Structure 1
Amino acid sequence: MRKIQYFLYLLAIGFVSCKKNYLDIVPTDRVSDAAVLSDSLLFVDYVINRYMGVKLQDKEAEGVPPGFGRGFEYAMWSSLTDESMYNNDDNTWLVQQGLLAPENTGITGTLWARSYRSIREVNYALNNIAGVPMSEGLRNKLRGELHFIRGFRYHDLIRNYGGVVMMGDKVYNLTDNLSDAALYTRATLQESMNYAIKELDSAAYYLPAANSGDWALGRATKGAALALKSRLALYAASPLYNVGSWADAAAAAKAVMDLGQYTIDADYSGLFKNASSNEIIFERLFVIGARHTCLEIANGPNGYGGWAGNTPLQNLVDAYEMNNGKPITDASSGYSDAKPYLNRDARFYATILYNGASYRNSTIETFTPGGKDSQDGNSNWNTSKTGYYLKKFMDDSNPIDNPWNVAGLQPWIYMRYAEILLNYAEAQNEAVGPDASVYAAVNQVRQRSSVNQPALAAGMSQDQMRTAIRRERQVELAFEEHRFYDVRRWKIATTTENVPAYGISVTKNADGTFTYTRKTALAGRSFADKHYWLPIPRAEILASGNKLTQNTGY
């Protein structure tokens, strides 16, 4: 009997030879097609598991709330950018150093196969949902979820590879004719984008405005579908894509704003630990210790038993304004090289641990000699190479040492309202210039009560507003895996990603003062035009019989 779980993307299995009697063996370790298609509860479980990509009877997944898995457990996408570096590599340095190749995709290598596997599984569900016994209300909710998941997977493919293979509703099997040209023909970027946006429109049509009960955690809503459409519409209008209009992107963001469903959370630091924050549009709640490495131990300072993980770069630190709204490069800002962390944007303190920062009833010590969080401290192989540690997302109530036996959930936010406001501001500024609505959207983000950065200066030109919005995205959305795509869609990566990865060396002087010296934390950062898109893994090209077209330059 055919199985509905764990199919590889069909390009990769086109040359696998299987005997028919082997396929007809009834498995005892998984749920059959017939059972899933005759039982609404099993079908619901199947749909939920399409977020996570796990099989129905996976014991490790029991009790785990739905929501997309990140696929890169230790390193964040920030460590492929000018935001951070992963302290112990984790297959990120080759991307930073411009060594990405079809044969060596590093941390990016899982995207292609996992996306197409999920698309096939969604196609299977949509092709069969009409025959599953259930109420029409439930059927329509599930349809909405499936269109959302398929739209999300295509969004992930498009923003990494450009134009992609469009599978339509087809469910390919081992016994099919795998010479079908549709398996290997990449659609244009315009066609790919149009399809993904149409999927999200379908999802928004079926999905409820809010979820409750069994639907409450990590499952799509109308707002999630429209928010993802807003992101894709913004990408489509951006210079790298150039297949959409800024007016359409502004309208897509405005549709989310007009729902009246979401607000800016007053507590910038707290919202990343508060799964019920009204700013969150779509999230995943990871069960601490279940298929998840806790963020605190993965990113904590070595002086506290942490592994350092995604360590912020000086490049990002320099982007935070002073709390008077002026950049540190402004001679009148009050910035001092001797006291570089004094009077900065409040989001800096909520995001980055620096020498002298308060932390877990103590103080961060990245100085030498003798600092406990420096190379002179414990477990010095985990000392930050940049002189900084990550604070954003970290919950100080969770232990760093041996955290896996602690009960609780750890949110990971995929979409939140601040992104939508900044999407709107950017698109509206490009469409018509910096009108009052652009100022209002950006200032709403800047002036949440826990941040309270000054409002943007009146009278900005379109270019000045563009610069301000880009800086705002850089600091507001830091480490939320936007920067990688932002610098590419703006086509500024040849500048931002060819700058050295800077850190800071802190020396404690005899009189107790500190000297701060900029250093290169990771040598050889390099970005070429071909890197605007990822390479399709060589294994996928070979599995297609070389019919699949590789991205230019690889």
Structure 2
Amino acid sequence: MKLRNIYIGIICAVSLSACNDKMDYHEYTNYDNTHVFSDFGRTAGFVNNIYSYLDYDLPSINSLASACDEAEMAVTWSSVLDYTNGNWTAMNPKSQWGIYSGIRAVNYFLKEAKDLDFYDLRFTQDYQAQMTRFNRYQYEVRLLRAYFYFRLVRAYGDVPFTTEILTEAEANSIKRTSASEIFDFIISECDAVASELPVSYKNLEGDAASGDNPETGRVNRGTALALKARAALYRASKLFNESGDKELWRQAALFSQDVIDYCMENGIVLGKYTDLWGTNNYQAAEVIFARRVGDTSSPEYDNFPIGMENANSGNCPTQTLVDAYEMKNGGEPDPANPYEGRDPRFKMTIACNGDKWPDSNPNPLETYIGGRNGAPISYATPTGYYLKKYLDGSIDISAGSGTGGKRHSWITFRLGEFYLNYAEAVFQYLGSAEMATDEFFLTARDAVNKIRTRTGVNMPVLPKGISGDEFWKRYKRERMVELAFEGHRFWDIRRWKEGGVTSIARMEITKLGDDSFAYKKTTKPLTWDDRMYFYPIPDSEIRKNKNLTQNPGWEIK
């Protein structure tokens, strides 16, 4: 782990742009701390670079959606297939270890920028506004560091932990800290910084960048509450709570309820499901925090249907996922017409045979064998489906008339997740989907029904009197559907310790002589081993640090 003490690459960003309302990251160069922290702009750039370590999983050829049962990667050379084909090893670790670079930058900032007053700049016109922002940075970066540690503990369990700037020798002798202690740190940091962060960056007193074009893409109070609640949910889950400690579930329920209360108090509400992607999705009614990625068409190049110019198929939703979408009438799908009458989120998320997708495609999709977009074309969908969610159907990727990239943002936290998190936690704590108490204002069933009845979805509510077993089964389906391709499924099956997925379902479609279609489910085997609940620590790190132990099952013999 390279937590070196001073030689940190500085990538300086320009100030948050009011004209395009986003945070930009621009490469700068290497400077020492005296130079970086002698100017508001360079100091802001250092902090903005820490934001660049935030994760996002917009659909790509390496998306974790295709590392579980959510999707199958059509591009047969993609390294994401290593997760499910047995090629995942400590020598090929799919490393998350680079997150430590972000943690190192935070530790460096908190030490080197402590007590700065930029005295030499006190006569500049916007000095007070700049100092207001500077004094907030310490709380922003502490929250970012807590989030970085959450990503590490989620992936590895026990991990090396420090809030200090280490020498290289110190970094390469540090031991792992228990996951429980790191969860304690994450939750305590969220508590410490939440009240110091604004609800919104609009109309902040003394802040010249606020008003009609405030800074966006910065962590806020809701981000702190959301991270605290998500971390508590993971801590209460079986992967980290083998004893089934009910108090951990109670805390997770309380913290998710706090997020719901915060959203209600601040006008954050469930809106249209399709508002969660597209050019302005960061402004969707239920967004708590979104990572602004910028203008790009990479998700469209990677995932538009094969058969279209420059398209690569990418993450193809599985029949396993399709089967999670219930019928609106509560019945079973028609074998001859299996896509009609399903949960509306199905057609919003997944493109199937006969759909007009995307806008630039002159023909309806033909995902059947021998069709324009089906096998045996190289890299055609192996599952019978293509992806819609998080893609911009208005983008044209053809060479002659391409539209170029458009703004994409990754939603890190949104209200819908926390209704589901609350439902899970309160159900596990109380042991009933029907119980409400003085402490918990919603039953688990009512919380799930908030999602099922959201605008444009309007699915039948889960019925009163539902048994615990039936609720848990339908809750997991609801979570898979609502949060599809939002970076949750891969981690959910791990924290539940339900990772023994040894196959995924596909749909093989054949066109018949009368232009009707025959549908046949098939399966593809996947490799699973229980060691995969946690990532392997990179072997290169183990070799450098004799005090660093490997996760069970990943040892190189």
Map 1:41-56 to 2 at 5 A: 41-53=41-53
Q: What is the TM-score when the length of structure 1 is the normalising length?
A: 0.84
- The aligned counterpart of 1:400 is 397
Map 1:163-202 to 2 at 5 A: 163-168=158-163, 170-174=164-168, 178-179=169-170, 183-202=173-192
Residue 526 of structure 1 aligns to a residue in which SS?
Answer: coil
The alpha carbon displacement at 1:347 in A equals 0.6
| 8 Å Cα contact 2:223-2:413 kept in structure 1 | yes
Equivalent of 1:303, from 283, 304, 307? 307
The alpha carbon displacement at 1:226 in A equals 0.8
Alignment coverage as a number of residue pairs? 492
- The aligned counterpart of 1:532 is 533
- The aligned counterpart of 1:254 is 257
| Stretch deviating more after TM superposition (240-249 or 251-260) | 240-249
- The aligned counterpart of 1:387 is 384
| Stretch deviating more after TM superposition (208-217 or 42-51) | 208-217
Within 2, Cα distance between the matches of 1:529 and 1:159?
15
- The aligned counterpart of 1:512 is 515
| 8 Å Cα contact 2:59-2:299 kept in structure 1 | no
Are residues 238 and 217 of structure 1, via their aligned partners in 2, closer, same or farther at CA, if it must alter by over 3 Å?
same
Structure 2: stretches of 5+ with no match in the other structure: 12-27, 119-127, 203-208, 437-441
Are residues 179 and 151 of structure 1, via their aligned partners in 2, closer, same or farther at CA, if it must alter by over 3 Å?
closer
- The aligned counterpart of 1:11 is none
Q: Deviations over 1:63-102 (max 9, x none)?
A: xxxx545599532111111001221142122211243210
Map 1:432-471 to 2 at 5 A: 432=430, 433-434=432-433, 435=435, 437=442, 438-471=444-477
| 8 Å Cα contact 1:37-1:131 kept in structure 2 | no
Verify: 1:142 aligned to 2:149, yes or no. Answer: no
Are residues 339 and 87 of structure 1, via their aligned partners in 2, closer, same or farther at CA, if it must alter by over 3 Å?
same
- The aligned counterpart of 1:86 is 73
Q: Deviations over 1:278-300 (max 9, x none)?
A: 211111222224xxx52112100
The alpha carbon displacement at 1:2 in A equals 5.0
The alpha carbon displacement at 1:502 in A equals 2.2
Are residues 240 and 508 of structure 1, via their aligned partners in 2, closer, same or farther at CA, if it must alter by over 3 Å?
same
The alpha carbon displacement at 1:383 in A equals 1.0
Within 2, Cα distance between the matches of 1:69 and 1:484?
14
Within 1, Cα distance between the matches of 2:548 and 2:505?
39
The alpha carbon displacement at 1:374 in A equals 1.4
Structure 1: stretches of 5+ with no match in the other structure: 8-27, 54-66, 327-332
Counterpart AA for 1:122: V
Equivalent of 1:347, from 345, 357, 361? 345
Q: Deviations over 1:187-212 (max 9, x none)?
A: 11211111122222223132111123
- The aligned counterpart of 2:235 is 236
Map 1:406-421 to 2 at 5 A: 406=404, 408-421=406-419
| 8 Å Cα contact 1:39-1:132 kept in structure 2 | no
Verify: 1:479 aligned to 2:463, yes or no. Answer: no
- The aligned counterpart of 2:293 is 286
Are residues 71 and 39 of structure 1, via their aligned partners in 2, closer, same or farther at CA, if it must alter by over 3 Å?
farther
Q: Deviations over 1:286-338 (max 9, x none)?
A: 2224xxx52112100012232101111111111110012x3xxxxxx141221
Within 1, Cα distance between the matches of 2:318 and 2:39?
52
Equivalent of 2:87, from 81, 90, 99? 99
Are residues 180 and 231 of structure 1, via their aligned partners in 2, closer, same or farther at CA, if it must alter by over 3 Å?
closer
The alpha carbon displacement at 1:519 in A equals 2.3
| 8 Å Cα contact 2:395-2:405 kept in structure 1 | no
- The aligned counterpart of 1:60 is none
- The aligned counterpart of 2:9 is 5
Q: Deviations over 1:25-51 (max 9, x none)?
A: xxx943331122111221111111111
Counterpart AA for 2:9: Q
Counterpart AA for 2:499: A
Aligned identity (percent) is 33
Residue 344 of structure 1 aligns to a residue in which SS?
Answer: coil
Within 2, Cα distance between the matches of 1:261 and 1:277?
14
| 8 Å Cα contact 2:57-2:486 kept in structure 1 | no
Counterpart AA for 2:80: T
CA RMSD of aligned residues (A): 2.4
The alpha carbon displacement at 1:474 in A equals 0.6
